[in-house]
Structure 1
Amino acid sequence: MPQQLDLGELQVGSAKYGFNQQYTGYLTHVHSTANEINEVVDPDHSTPDSRRQHRIACENAKFDQEYYMENYLNDEDIQPLIKHPLSTDTLSDPEFTATEQQTMVNLPSKTLLISNKQAVYLGMVDLLFAYSLELRSHLGELTIESAWAIGAVSSTLSNLEQFSTLRETCVASYRRGLAYTLYRHWDLCERAMDDVRVICQNGRRAILKVFLDLKRVFDEHDVYYVYSKLFLDDYCVWLQVGASDEVLKSLADKLAHIEVEQEEVEWDLDVLEDRVLMSSDSEAEEEEKEEEKEEPMRRPLIEML
């Protein structure tokens, strides 16, 4: 069952966050809870700039060179994830289950006056990427850890980020996809972002289907349900009455043409990959030399036989 927040206990700070930057006070006591998604030091007294700077610092600290190189070299378990087909739930005209229909009926009735439409669409892209990457990482299934995993990858949830361009949204998504996930592989991030493109191309109903699933996952968590109140409930309302299929298709077209470069993500990924390849070549040469040394020792035995 969805958890209830006691609105009377909310303490108001100066910062605004959440969907359309319209909430405050919801994260006042976040550090006294078991919220492992949040990275903002003092959400209710933060600024967009301080949150962004801290997010980038957290990502830099979290990125693990050895982890990345290991996944780059030994990707036998990752390749099937990349090749896995996209769920049929993301079709352009999906069916809604009885539970999903009831969830939509139970959504708060409100008029959403969007002050920054671009930020709302970009936040949607960020959340779709986090969801798609988690879904693809488990061959189309979500797990008991999925609320945390999605929240950790989403800059919108973990750092209350508000993006201003599609490129910076994609770059941030890749950075977190390479620093916080179980599988940290460039091609897996590329495939997840292509999933986002397909979902956007399929329009509002396909995206609403995803956000209803996101809401279900977060509603069921004892701590992370707060993100439904801050973001997901309003996204589910907005996708029904405010989002534009024309804008979504334009967004899908932009995603098809945007190409994130490794240099934008930083962390010298190309250098790390070259190091892995050189090390792999060196090991292969050593094995060859060992085999050559052993060959003369085998010959006398063969001749005796």
Structure 2
Amino acid sequence: MQLPTPAFEVTQDEAFVTVHVHADIAAATEARVAAEGTTFGCFIEPLYLPLCLPYSVATLHDCIPLCEGSATAACTYDTHTKVLHVRLAKSVHGQVFPDLDRLRPQLLSDEEQAQMERDAACAPASHAYGFGQTDPLPVDYVALVRGGRVPYLDVDDPTQMPPREREARAESLETEKWDEGMYLDNVVDIDGDVAAVVQVEPHVLSGACKASSGAASGPVPPQAAAHAFLVQLLFAYLYELHVSYNDASPESAWTLCKLCRSIACFVEPSAPIAAVLRASYRRALTYPLYRSWALCERVRKDMIRLLQAEDAQTRLLAALQDMDAIFALAPTGTGLAEPVETVLRLIWDFWLAPLQAYVSQAAADEWPALARSLTPPTKEAVGEPGGWDLEVLDMLARESKAEGVGSFV
């Protein structure tokens, strides 16, 4: 998932620092740039340039088409030289930025990088995370946490929060996100949008399915933890295939992360499968656009079909490879790719890669047994905590639909 870096030069005058980015090998049609404080980022698919400047510049978020005559207030693009010129206003007029010719792609200064490495070496994790990981979090990820720039995750530093508090945090956020009007709208489904996504056939279930022949390596998690995480991840993945009509977008990684408690809140995947499935329903009814019990039930049945397939292992590995591709796609939808790439790399390394190693060596009879454990949760169980009386709401929605009421939001 590491993005290639373009060639670049940096110049300055009294008022501006100008970054000249060579886009001669890029095939993209636009460039996205962002600057805040001493941090600068430029994304021109598939290239990404992060820089840590000596001093602060004015905040900038810009997007420019890479075509003849294209220009914005801060950016110009030369189609002959294929160089993008980005002008960053200095926070202090006349301030001299030293050693611009020695800048190299990085988000932290050399001093910050060295200090964080020393801190990490001296501070092992207070609480385990992932599949029992106790090593310090990666330095580049810690930098995002300190800067308050962590996408996708609701708990950004699991080492400082006990597992029970992470689970309580997940329950609390789900309760806060609950929207009765959105739920009723999805039940009534006046335009048939929910019914349409429910009918989508996930591509991982249909036709031949191939996974790469390379064996997964790395630590293998215990069976109970692997099964608990697989259920919530597979639920999120199949949900995304439904709502995206099997056509992933840069937003698809958000769905995978937000519908998994273990990813979004670093909740330990150790609960009984019934509790894991209940949590998946709660997140599907509170975070995404489509908040439908019928869609949750369709996804659960899809999971059973996949796990009962004769080639279940191959299909599971193919699904994990597809998730890797979804993660790689995600940075293309943002102006500052580095935080997204850093977070998704951590998620892959500590969650999906160990699961991939487990699936690769698992016994074939595990999958039908896991499928048999996927019994539907009750609406009463899913609605607490929070007091969501789903049975009553469903009845109200049916009555409203019969009376021609179409919107509750």
Structure 1 residues 283 and 124, CA gap change in structure 2 (3 angstroms): closer
Distance 1:205 1:218 in 2: 20
Q: How far apart are 1:191 and its partner, in Å? A: 0.5
Paired AA for residue 205 in structure 1: T
Contact 1:28/1:43 (<8 A) preserved = no
Q: How far apart are 1:274 and its partner, in Å? A: 2.4
Number of equivalences = 271
1:48 correspondence with 2:155: no
| Bigger fraction of residues in helix | 1
1:204 correspondence with 2:313: yes
Aligned residue in 2 for 1:290: none
Paired AA for residue 179 in structure 1: T
Q: How far apart are 1:219 and its partner, in Å? A: 3.9
1:107-118 matched pairs, under 5 angstroms = 109-112=217-220, 114=221, 116-118=222-224
Aligned residue in 2 for 1:180: 287
1:180-210: CA deviation from partner (whole Å, max 9, x where unpaired): 1121110001111111112222221111111
Distance 2:193 2:394 in 1: 18
Aligned residue in 1 for 2:391: 270
Distance 1:158 1:42 in 2: 11
TM-score with structure 1 setting the length: 0.79
Q: How far apart are 1:57 and its partner, in Å? A: 0.1
Q: How far apart are 1:165 and its partner, in Å? A: 0.3
Paired AA for residue 265 in structure 1: V
Contact 1:122/1:165 (<8 A) preserved = yes
Structure 1 residues 164 and 30, CA gap change in structure 2 (3 angstroms): farther
1:259 correspondence with 2:376: yes
1:228 correspondence with 2:228: no
Contact 2:187/2:292 (<8 A) preserved = yes
Contact 2:167/2:265 (<8 A) preserved = yes
Aligned residue in 2 for 1:155: 261
TM-score with structure 2 setting the length: 0.60
Aligned residue in 1 for 2:200: 84
Distance 1:63 1:74 in 2: 18
Structure 1, unpaired ranges of 5+: 285-305
Contact 1:91/1:199 (<8 A) preserved = no
Paired AA for residue 18 in structure 1: G
Higher relative contact order, structure no. (Cα contacts within 8 Å, ≥ 6 residues apart): 1
1:218 correspondence with 2:327: yes
1:18 correspondence with 2:157: no
Selected match of 2:298 from 187, 191, 216: 191
**C-alpha root-mean-square deviation of aligned residues, in Å?**
2.7
Distance 2:297 2:305 in 1: 13
Aligned residue in 2 for 1:133: 239
Contact 1:82/1:187 (<8 A) preserved = yes
Contact 1:19/1:235 (<8 A) preserved = no
Distance 1:3 1:233 in 2: 19
Distance 2:245 2:328 in 1: 23
Structure 1 residues 33 and 73, CA gap change in structure 2 (3 angstroms): same
Q: How far apart are 1:281 and its partner, in Å? A: 4.4
Structure 1 residues 142 and 42, CA gap change in structure 2 (3 angstroms): same
1:240 correspondence with 2:360: yes
1:108-155: CA deviation from partner (whole Å, max 9, x where unpaired): x4353x3x4212111011000000001111222211100111101111
Q: How far apart are 1:246 and its partner, in Å? A: 0.9
1:38-61: CA deviation from partner (whole Å, max 9, x where unpaired): 111642111110000010000000
Identity of aligned residues (%): 24
Distance 2:287 2:381 in 1: 18
1:66 correspondence with 2:181: yes
Distance 2:273 2:219 in 1: 26
Distance 1:263 1:3 in 2: 46
